[in-house]
Amino acid sequence: MSPGWDELFRDEILDHYKHPRNHGTLEAPDFTYEDANPLCGDRLRMDFHVGDGVIKAARFTGHGCSISQAAASMLCERVEDMTLEDAKRLSREDVLEMLGIELGPVRLKCALLALKTMKAGIYGMRQWPGEEDASHP
Amino acid sequence: MRFHPAGALSAAPATAFDARALRAEFPIFREPRDTPLVYLDSAATSQKPQAVLDAMDRHYRTCNANIHRGIYAIAEQATAAYEDARRRVARFVGAPSPAEIVFTRNSTEAINLVAHSWGRSQLRAGDAILLTVMEHHANLVPWQLLAAERGIELRFTPITAEGDLDLVACAALLADGKVKLLGVTHVSNVLGTVNPVARIAQLAHDAGALVLVDASQSVPHFAVDVAALGADFVVFTGHKMLGPTGIGALWARRELLESMPPFMGGGEMIREVKLTGSQWADVPWKFEAGTMPITEAVGLGAAVDWLERVGMDAIWAHDQELIAYAMSRLSTVPGLRVLGPPAERRGALVAFTLGTIHAHDVATVLDAGGVAVRAGHHCAMPLHEHLAIAASVRASFHCHTTTDEIDTLVLGLERAGQVFA
């Protein structure tokens, strides 16, 4: 059965899309990462401040479809005050649960862009404190 | 009287055309669904009439056998059916001889065939290939591969603000005589522009270049006569012209095909094989290595019969009415911006953006109303970059499309506008 007009985009998704939380950039972020789904044109940049292994602030900017942008907004809200270790454990199921709608394979990539971007940032950051790779930006 | 892409004026009466009656011949529209299917994605792939499905089913049930080799009755029948399909396709596009129709998997494979066979044997470092910014990836990426391998320069004819090819720029890009091949789409799969291919071919020939026309979006919609086009290579694909997937064709003059080396090697394409070397079969078989999609060719032959029965001029007249109606209705949707030229210079498709709403969001809302459209870059990323948009929504039509369906599209677009306001 095809979904009705209103089940497609839950009010919460539209609310996050139209009024994104944590939108913007951070001064001197502890880690930042930018990623895109070139096939859809979705693009995200995510900035994080981290202290004592805890995400103190998360911000995103970008453009794209409602699913990609709402997922970024929801994820930023969710990970603030979360430990890095817990943030690393967030899975696609967690993101889909936040969104609360069924997604086909194409839209799934939109939904998971924020998680992918955040994890790339987190894992990329691990190299910096030990100075193993000083040339890393 | 209405615009005809071949330059002639067609006076096909619109009243004789009954899209609803034709629609009944497509099983997909008879499938029970909660929401009736409004299929506006024929430019991606067309739906198939019962006659095509029946022809393929009958072939499998009655004379399935490999072709060109079996010494038994059904193998001879299968060979006859395959070669008969080639004859019908040749006649359909005005090819002087069936030997000038090479079956391929699709347009993409046909272009790769030309790039590998003609391109690699004829082009040298310093030569140039002239394409256009509105090409589908199929008529772009094979040439990028060849250009990188051989040190060939790629050039691109730009488009005007309205979405037509800039022929003055095209002539200038040909002027130094380095261009050995001009590749151009007959109808843009995004802008809908029907390009003046015969004029472009004249410009290219005057400059000493051969011409390849991607007719994927034209052959399904209006009568294309390869001889009149003035092109050297014409490619098209079966699945966009009511036929099955897996079968397409390359047309080229016989002498040109004969001068070209094989594309893929294997069975079927040889006359004689020794361990250290082989002799090639005659054209077109020289280019058809391995067991071909025989049943798909039979299906394409049936599709051609079906299109001829309905009449290509009648289909084009119907397209023209639909696109004029669609352009007029779409102009009433707040925030909607159509890409490409006015209805008078268009094929049966229209791509657009809706305010700042992402194409995928628009398509998802439309899908809930049963409306199937394409959302994305439609395999034309460079064109979208040129237009400075990430993606667009495209509605495309065929003979079964009705104005009621365009009304449903417009309702869905208005709904999308409200949801994301």
Provide residues of A within 8 Å CB-CB of chain B: 1-5, 8-9, 14, 17-18, 38-42, 63-67, 106-107, 110
Give the per-residue pLDDT at A6.
Answer: 55
Identify any residues that bridge with B153 across adjacent strands, giving them in sequence order: B128
pLDDT level of residue A132 (50, 70, 90 thresholds): very low
Out of A5, A14, A65, closest to residue B358 by CB: A65
- How far is residue A12 from each of residues A19, A97, A103, B35, B203, measured CA to CA in Å? 10, 12, 16, 26, 57
**Cβ neighbours of B420 in A, within 8 Å:** 14, 17-18, 66
Determine which of A1, A9, A11, A108 to mutate to test the interface with B (most B C-beta atoms within 10 Å).
A9
Write down how long chain A is.
Answer: 137
Q: Do A107 and B364 touch (CB under 8 A)?
A: yes
Give the per-residue pLDDT at A131.
Answer: 39
Give the per-residue pLDDT at B234.
Answer: 98
Instruction: Report the candidate in B65, B138, B136, B103 with the shortest Cα–Cα distance to residue B304.
Output: B103
Closest chain A C-alpha to B35 CA, distance in angstroms = 8
pLDDT level of residue B375 (50, 70, 90 thresholds): very high
The pLDDT tens digits of the residues spanning A36-92 come to: 888 778 899 999 999 999 999 999 999 999 999 999 999 999 999 999 999 999 999
Average pLDDT in chain A: 85
Determine which of B356, B360, B393 to mutate to test the interface with A (most A C-beta atoms within 10 Å).
B360
- How far is residue A65 from each of residues A21, A106, A108, measured CA to CA in Å? 16, 12, 12
Give the per-residue pLDDT at A50.
Answer: 94
Q: Do A39 and B376 touch (CB under 8 A)?
A: yes
Closest chain A C-alpha to B415 CA, distance in angstroms = 9
**Cβ neighbours of B388 in A, within 8 Å:** none
Residue A81 φ then ψ, to 5°:
75, 10
Amino acid at residue number A99: L
Q: Do B361 and A9 touch (CB under 8 A)?
A: yes
The pLDDT tens digits of the residues spanning B210-255 come to: 999 999 999 999 999 998 999 999 999 999 999 999 999 999 999 9
Give the per-residue pLDDT at B3.
Answer: 53
* Local structure of residue A19 (DSSP, 8 states): S
The pLDDT tens digits of the residues spanning B107-157 come to: 999 999 999 999 999 999 999 999 999 999 999 999 999 999 999 999 999
Identify any residues that bridge with B39 across adjacent strands, giving them in sequence order: B372
Give the per-residue pLDDT at A136.
Answer: 41
Cis before B284? omega within 30: yes
Instruction: Report the candidate in B243, B239, B288 with the shortest Cα–Cα distance to residue B262.
Output: B288
Average pLDDT in chain B: 95
| Segment A111-133 mean pLDDT | 74
* Residue B61: partners with Cβ closer than 8 Å, 6 or more residues away: none
Question: What gap in Å lies between CA A34 and CA A41, rounded to an integer?
Answer: 13
Give the per-residue pLDDT at B10.
Answer: 47
Question: What gap in Å lies between CA B247 and CA B234, rounded to an integer?
Answer: 15
The pLDDT tens digits of the residues spanning B273-313 come to: 999 999 999 999 999 999 999 999 999 999 999 999 999 99
Residue A68: burial class (beta carbons within 10 Å; 0-12, 13-18, 19+): buried
pLDDT level of residue A10 (50, 70, 90 thresholds): confident
Give the per-residue pLDDT at B12.
Answer: 47
Closest chain B C-alpha to A101 CA, distance in angstroms = 12
* Local structure of residue A24 (DSSP, 8 states): S
Please give the share of chain B, as a percent, with pLDDT higher than 70.
96
| Segment B170-192 mean pLDDT | 98
Please give the share of chain A, as a percent, with pLDDT higher than 70.
85
Instruction: Report the candidate in B38, B189, B172 with the shortest Cα–Cα distance to residue B108.
Output: B189
| Segment B24-49 mean pLDDT | 97
Q: Do A2 and B35 touch (CB under 8 A)?
A: yes
Give the per-residue pLDDT at A4.
Answer: 54
Question: What gap in Å lies between CA B166 and CA B311, rounded to an integer?
Answer: 32
The catalytic site residues of B sit at: 379
What is chain A's Cα-based Rg? 15
pTM to 2 decimals? Answer: 0.92
Give the per-residue pLDDT at B1.
Answer: 37
| Segment B159-173 mean pLDDT | 98
Give the per-residue pLDDT at B303.
Answer: 98
Question: What gap in Å lies between CA A87 and CA B328, rounded to an integer?
Answer: 51
User: ipTM exceeding 0.90?
Assistant: no
pLDDT level of residue A133 (50, 70, 90 thresholds): very low
Determine which of A15, A66, A99 to mutate to test the interface with B (most B C-beta atoms within 10 Å).
A66
Question: What gap in Å lies between CA B376 and CA B224, rounded to an integer?
Answer: 29
Residue B155 φ then ψ, to 5°:
-125, 160
End-to-end CA distance of chain B: 42
